[in-house]
Amino acid sequence: MTTAFYTHADCKRHEMGSWHPECPERLQAIEDQLIASRIDSLIDYREAPPADESELARVHTADAIYRIRENCPTAESEYTYFPLDADTSLNAYSWRAALRAAGAAVAATDAVIAGELDNAFCSVRPPGHHATPSEAMGFCLFNNVAIAAKHAMDVHGLKKVAIVDFDVHHGNGTEAAFIGDPRVLMVSFFQHPFYPFSGTGHPAANMVNVPVPAHSYGETVRQVVIDQWLPALHEHQPEMIFISAGFDAHREDDMAQMGLVEADYAWITQKIMEVAKTYAKGRIVSCLEGGYNLSALGRSVVAHIKVLAELE
């Protein structure tokens, strides 16, 4: 398997204050753990290009794009922030970072569809799955996975794709982007009740939203995958799968109260791989979402990438 790892230094320059859990150190923790696990030489490192605004516009309104582009503080005031909501802010580098994050997802999609790669992991920030077409929120500026999925369909002509979201929070932005679109199946689990307090009210037919209570462990989530995700994915028969890869359901992550471990993320990834090989020529693009305990995040991403690259 050829698995690429897309990232860019600009993604480490976006930050929202020293107190903020969605911090640049997250990406460094992943890179450090890849080296410690001795798999860094076995994956294809690629620099994320910036997305074009026309690519953002496949998902986001002109006003949503304008608010990010025009409200970043100037470089001369790099330690000041422009607040978008109570926990989402812009600094001088946020626009550049957001373009790289979305650009990684688009470039990975192009390379996987072209057959250059079997799959890819985008180690990028800011994350994306809370960003709705009209609003940045929940640490997210642009919806990287949604942009990539739209690119696959609009540019490459794919007829059906799937989005798998295993972040501990509901991907409300992704749901808003594709609700009712029969070309896109979204499957997810998420802690409930919990931010953003969505995903449970009569979802559309193409949304398999599975709320689980706090203190749920791996066996609960694995049963969700077996009973609800896999039947829907097999029925949909996607031509490509996109993953919103959040690792904040890990038992060491105090952002939430769930109990997954690295083996659970590896198992979920393996099940997604099996579906992708059956219907989608193995094509997967995975993008980092949450995960705030640095050690758990790094270890979990390594477990995820090892399965993608078939290293164990």
Which positions are catalytic?
A: 130
- In angstroms, rounded to a whole number, what is the distance separating the alpha carbons of residues 267 and 265? 5
- In angstroms, rounded to a whole number, what is the distance separating the alpha carbons of residues 227 and 230? 7
Q: What is the 3-state secondary structure (H, E, C) of the chain?
A: CCEEEEECCHHHHCCCCCCCCCCCHHHHHHHHHHHHCCCHHHCEEEECCCCCHHHHCCCCCHHHHHHHHHHCCCHHHCCCCEEEECCEEECCCHHHHHHHHHHHHHHHHHHHHHCCCCEEEECCCCCCCCCCCCCCECCECCCHHHHHHHHHHHCCCCCCEEEEECCCCCCHHHHHHHCCCCCEEEEEEEECCCCCCCCCCCCCCCEEEEEECCCCEHHHHHHHHHHHHHHHHHHHCCCCEEEEECCCCECCCCCCCCEECHHHHHHHHHHHHHHHHHHCCCCEEEEECCCCCHHHHHHHHHHHHHHHCCCC
